[in-house]
Amino acid sequence: MTRISLTVDGASVSDDVEPRLLLVQYLRERLGKTGTVIGCDTSNCGACTVHLDGTSVKSCNVLAVQADGAEVTTIEGLARTVGGDDGLHPVQEAFRECHGLQCGFCTPGMIMQSVDLLKNNPKPTEEEIRLGLEGNLCRCTGYHNIVKAVQHASGQAEVTA
Amino acid sequence: MIPAAFDYVAPTTVEDALAALAQYGDEAKIIAGGQSLLPVLRMRLNAPEWIIDLGRIESLRGVRDDGDAIVIGAMTPHVVVGSDPLVAEHASLVAKAVEHLADAQVRHRGTFGGALAHADPAGDLGAPALALGAEFVIAGSGGTRTVAADDFFVDLFETAIGEDEILTEVRIPKRTGWGATYEKFVRVAHQWPIVAVAATVRVEGQAGDRVFAEARIGLTNMGSTPLRARAVEDALVGQPVTDDAVRTAAALAADGTNPPSDLNGDADYRRHLATVLTRRAVLDAAGA
Ligand SMILES: Cc1cc2nc3c(=O)[nH]c(=O)nc-3n(C[C@H](O)[C@H](O)[C@H](O)COP(=O)(O)OP(=O)(O)OC[C@H]3O[C@@H](n4cnc5c(N)ncnc54)[C@H](O)[C@@H]3O)c2cc1C
Ligand code: FES
Ligand code: FES
């Protein structure tokens, strides 16, 4: 067992964990943060994307011990990073407005990656959005409304969904 | 999905990491960004008893100017390498290769040294490192040695790094003002190339009368290690920057290669792809 202490969605947490525990398991199984989901076995799908010290990572491909001392933001704590504790983050709002989801399984990862993308590039082109989300797979929507949601969140598209 | 159990240490100096490697021997495995190692552990293709994490060693991170070379710390994440001004100015081939390596999340965690140490023949950084004549600085209990790119890549997933050694940094001789292009051919997004060509060239002369003064070309996934396309390099030097001249030289791209056959394509297909991608990469690198 290894002792880890980190901040998750604004709360300080400290636990003894097995070194082999993946960050995504720690979030879901220890902290009950089931908003972050697991969609694959190969680190391809991006459904498990969270922010680790401010940048997006696939939490199925990070050990919990590697996050010792770090600050983690999950989809559940995203809204509080912009002040509203119970409201939605503007990117969450844009996905709702543009119907950027069907089953919703890829959505937590899509939103976390979109927020990272917009942080580095506040006015991305459609091509830049598609490239920026290339590590996130959606089985349902064909990406059309996802791309539109990101354009909308960046103030570049009318809502037409 | 879940790795076999292991013990974990996260030293804060290279000396402590080397001491841990010496102590645990072949039961230990280094973790850098974990973007290649963790999938391997999760599929239980490997089950080391100790994991030694280099992630807390600050001295292994960053890019610095060292006179006639730039030096990239082994633990510098892809995203930092890809946006570093020194890399862009003096080794733009590396910046181009990093741009389309994996996806954003993987580029945030994966490291320059980790990708090179992993030595996947389909990995995107080997061919640029080889083409640029990089030097690999490797630390062991007996001190530090430097290995030339030509001697670094030994075989599939095998490099000159010994079991008790750590890659600490990579020196890349400056090629300031050279044009560079990385042509990567993929079947699906965010994946390893079926074939890729890393080309960097120095062109002399005025518009309309430009010739290749120097050319260095690396091939990805055309054998068990990255390869230099030396026949193409030699054929280009002194030639005019024209479509015809580049096409003739690029036809030699598959000479001396030994590409794999797999579900993405057989060896003949890869040989053909190498010539096409080399032509595109060289023309683009020359600004034509
Ligand atoms: C979804 C996905 C897509 C990807 N797509 C691509 C792609 O398109 N192109 C590409 O090139 N790569 C791709 N990768 C791999 C990625 O580039 C990895 O970051 C890289 O191969 C390994 O770097 P790392 O820092 O994560 O190393 P790790 O995974 O931590 O280590 C890799 C290996 O190198 C050894 N090692 C690491 N650092 C050192 C060191 N300093 N000294 C000695 N040994 C060391 C480790 O022991 C291990 O065996 C992809 C990965 C994923 C998950
Ligand atoms: S669950 Fe992490 S990438 Fe698919
Ligand atoms: S909405 Fe169903 S996987 Fe994307």
Here the CATH number for the domain that contains residue A24 is 3.10.20.30
Q: Summarize pLDDT for B158-175 with one digit per residue, the tens.
A: 999 999 999 999 999 999
Phi, psi for residue A131 in degrees, rounded to 5: -70, -40
CA dist B56 and A104 (Å) reads: 36
- CATH number of the domain that B228 lies in? 3.30.390.50
pLDDT at A103 over 70: yes
Question: Are B138 and B166 spatial neighbours (Cβ–Cβ below 8 Å)?
Answer: yes
Which residue in chain B has the smallest CA separation from A51?
B105
Q: Which of A49, A61, A62, A130 to mutate to test the interface with B (most CBs of B within 10 A)?
A: A61
- Residues A32, A87, single domain; the answer is no
Residue A143 beta carbon below 6 angstroms from any ligand 3 atom: no
A10-54: per-residue pLDDT in tens? 999 999 999 999 999 999 999 999 999 999 999 999 999 999 999
Predicted pLDDT at A160 = 59
**Local structure of B25: helix, strand or coil:** helix
pLDDT in tens, chain B (288 residues): 799 999 999 999 999 999 999 999 899 999 999 999 999 999 999 999 999 999 999 999 999 999 999 999 999 999 999 999 999 999 999 999 999 899 999 999 999 999 999 999 999 999 999 999 999 999 999 999 999 999 999 999 999 999 999 999 999 999 999 999 999 999 887 789 999 999 999 999 998 899 999 999 999 999 999 999 999 999 999 999 999 999 999 999 999 999 999 999 999 999 999 999 999 999 999 998
Q: A43 touching B, CB under 8 A?
A: yes
Asked whether residue B167 falls in the same domain as residue B190, the answer is: no
Contact by Cβ (8 Å): A64, A20: no
Which of B173, B194, B225 is a domain's end point? B173
In a domain, A158, yes or no: no
Domain that holds residue A140: 82-153
CB of B22 within 8 Å of a chain A CB? The answer is: no
Asked if residue A87 and residue A53 are part of one domain, the reply reads no
* pTM: predicted TM-score of the whole model, two decimal places: 0.97
Go through chain A and tell me how many residues it has.
Answer: 161
The angle, 0 to 180 degrees and rounded to 10, between the axes of the packed helices A107-120 and A90-97 is 120
Residue A160 lies in a domain: no
Does residue A108 contact residue A35 with C-beta atoms inside 8 Å?
yes
Residue B10 distance to chain A (closest CA, Å): 9
Given a contact cutoff of 8 angstroms between Cβ atoms, the answer to whether B134 and B158 are in contact is: no
Helix-, strand-, coil-residue percentages of chain B, each rounded to 5: 35, 25, 40
| Within-domain flag for B158 | yes
| pLDDT tens digit sequence for B20-32 | 999 998 999 999 9
Question: Domain containing B202: what range?
Answer: 179-285
Domain count of the fold of chain B: 3
Fill in the DSSP letter of residue B59: G
For residue B235, is it within any domain?
yes
CA distance B166 to B29: 11
Examine the domain organization and report whether A94 and A139 are in the same domain.
yes
Query: Does position A75 have pLDDT exceeding 70, yes or no?
Result: yes
| Whether residue A134 has pLDDT greater than 80 | yes
**Going edge to edge, which strands form the sheet with B69-73?**
B63-66, B69-73, B166-173, B135-140, B143-148
Structure tokens at B104: 């954003």
Q: Are residues B33 and B109 in the same domain?
A: no
Its ipTM equals 0.96
Is residue A141 within 6 Å of ligand 3 at its C-beta?
yes
